[in-house]
Amino acid sequence: TQLLEQSPQFLSIQEGENLTVYCNSSSVFSSLQWYRQEPGEGPVLLVTVVTGGEVKKLKRLTFQFGDARKDSSLHITAAQTGDTGLYLCAGGGTSYGKLTFGQGTILTVHP
Amino acid sequence: DADVTQTPRNRITKTGKRIMLECSQTKGHDRMYWYRQDPGLGLQLIYYSFDVKDINKGEISDGYSVSRQAQAKFSLSLESAIPNQTALYFCATMEREWGTQYFGPGTRLTVL
């Protein structure tokens, strides 16, 4: 059973556009992490959110943790070709010592 | 030098062969993980270890085994490889509960 549902699975946009990726669950998580993965490499952590309603900004990326800690979103403003990659959300707290990963969103930003 | 290394980076093998994938880390973390990645399925946990004497099965452990030889080394074995084990395999470490996971570069395994 997939505890974390990411949407959309694929996203293809032009440079300069805005986009939002969603991560939803029926479970409550103690923390929610977002990772970015480039071809040929392992995922790299972008951010961790731990408080319901928390908003974190990383340059053009804005991350939000839902009030009930069941969902999260990643918003990218004015996407650039360098944003292309696989974005993964991961929840902690439902199973000791393990993270639960969403299935990922493949983002392609065209010049 | 990379903090988490995996060998080999690519491997092509035949059905029925025994394969070992190795992972080493210099981060000093006790927690280590093996994941499998297939397109559209994110990362699925195969095995994880909290220390040398603590090994736990993940969601998809059937057909796989692991060995934690030292704090820094965690190996994944496929006793008798089958084609549907063709995938990208990642090793990761984590310093504490719900902390950052640090991933290796991955091993691309193809079973013919």
- Judge whether B101 and A37 are in contact, CB under 8 Å: no
Instruction: Tell me the one-letter amino acid at B85.
Output: Q
Say yes or no to pLDDT of B16 above 90.
yes
Mean of the per-residue pLDDT values of chain A: 93
Residues of A in contact with B44 (CB under 8 A): 101
A44-61 per-position pLDDT tens digit: 999 999 999 999 999 999
Select the more confidently predicted residue: B39 or A46: A46
Contact criterion met (CB < 8 Å) for B31 and A48: no
Query: What is the arithmetic mean of pLDDT over B38-67?
Result: 92
pLDDT band with cut points at 50, 70 and 90 for residue B1: low
Select the more confidently predicted residue: A27 or B41: A27
B62-99 per-position pLDDT tens digit: 999 999 999 999 999 999 999 999 999 999 999 877 78
CA–CA min distance B40, chain A (Å): 6
Contact criterion met (CB < 8 Å) for A40 and B106: yes
CA–CA min distance A41, chain B (Å): 5
pLDDT band with cut points at 50, 70 and 90 for residue B18: very high
* pLDDT recorded at residue A13: 97
Sheet of A19-24, strands arranged across: A5-7, A19-24, A71-76, A61-65, A55-58
Residues sharing a CB contact under 8 Å with residue B95, sequence separation 6 or more, in sequence order: B27, B29, B31
Contact criterion met (CB < 8 Å) for A102 and B98: no
Say yes or no to pLDDT of A108 above 70.
yes
Buried b (16+ CB within 10 A) or exposed e, B3-12: ebebeeeebe
- As given in the structure block, the two tokens for residue B90 are 């990642």
- As given in the structure block, the two tokens for residue B59 are 């969601």
**Count of positions (residues) in chain A:** 111
d(CA A1, CA B42) in angstroms, rounded, equals 13
pLDDT band with cut points at 50, 70 and 90 for residue A92: confident
Which of B98, B100, B101, B102 to mutate to test binding with chain A, by most A CBs within 10 Å of its CB?
B98
Residue labelled with tokens 């395999």: B89
* pLDDT recorded at residue A93: 77
Say yes or no to pLDDT of A1 above 70.
no
